[in-house]
Structure 1
Amino acid sequence: MSAEVRVVALVSGTVQGVGYRWFVSRAAAVRGLAGSATNLPDGRVEVVLEGPAEDVRAVLAELSGRRAPGTVTGVESREDGGRGMSGFTVG
């Protein structure tokens, strides 16, 4: 069993208005992760993922994978302290 982690990722490109946040929500649900996907005013999407490190890494890899809707030009991520989140929100 891998350790619990929390990662915040900022996804750049054409990722608003293309179903990207719902794509992330489904990918997180498949892995049982908590978190959120939120549109930012600058056109990016902020993705927060919390759960087992292996599952978080797998979803992070999908953020710019070929199944991701829109056009992803960059993903910047950083680990953050876990907060014991539950559920996944789309904002």
Structure 2
Amino acid sequence: MREATPKALHVRVQGRVQGVFYRASTQQQAQRLGLRGWVRNCDDGSVEAVLCGDDAALEAMLAWMAQGPDKARVDALDKTPAEVPDNNDFEVRQ
């Protein structure tokens, strides 16, 4: 049986998502779900991420990202297909 090809998504999260541990919490949640990719702050106050994994893990991650950590306020979450990242873990980028 062939292993399923992982899917990758680029996600942009807008709202109160900087200075509330959104990136660190995203990394922890992604690692729990077995995703790889990255997350970083953007100059406009949003957070962007590339998530890579199977459909179930991606859906769980998107549901979590729509809420974020306790002090976050997510106003919008936009997702588009992305290239599969070449890193094998999930990292916080500057």
Do the aligned partners of 1:64 and 1:72 also contact (CA within 8 Å) in 2?
yes
User: What root-mean-square deviation, in Å, do the aligned CA atoms of Structure 1 and Structure 2 show?
Assistant: 1.8
Aligned residue pair count: 91
Q: TM-score, normalised by structure 1?
A: 0.88
More displaced, 81-90 or 24-33? 81-90
Which structure has greater strand proportion?
1
Unaligned stretches of 5+ in structure 1? none
Task: Using the TM superposition, give the Cα deviation of residue 67 of structure 1 relative to its aligned residue in structure 2, in angstroms.
Answer: 4.6
2:91 paired with 1:89: yes
Percent of aligned positions that are identical: 29
Unaligned stretches of 5+ in structure 2? none
Do the aligned partners of 1:18 and 1:69 also contact (CA within 8 Å) in 2?
yes
**Structure 1 residues 49 and 13, CA, compared in 2 at 3 Å: closer, same or farther?**
same
2:60 paired with 1:64: no
**Structure 1 residues 79 and 28, CA, compared in 2 at 3 Å: closer, same or farther?**
same
**Structure 1 residues 2 and 60, CA, compared in 2 at 3 Å: closer, same or farther?**
farther
Do the aligned partners of 1:35 and 1:89 also contact (CA within 8 Å) in 2?
yes
Structure number with larger C-alpha Rg:
2
Q: 1:12 aligns with which of 5, 11, 14?
A: 14
Q: 2:39 aligns with which of 37, 40, 49?
A: 37
SS in 2 for 1:56: helix
- The aligned counterpart of 1:75 is 77
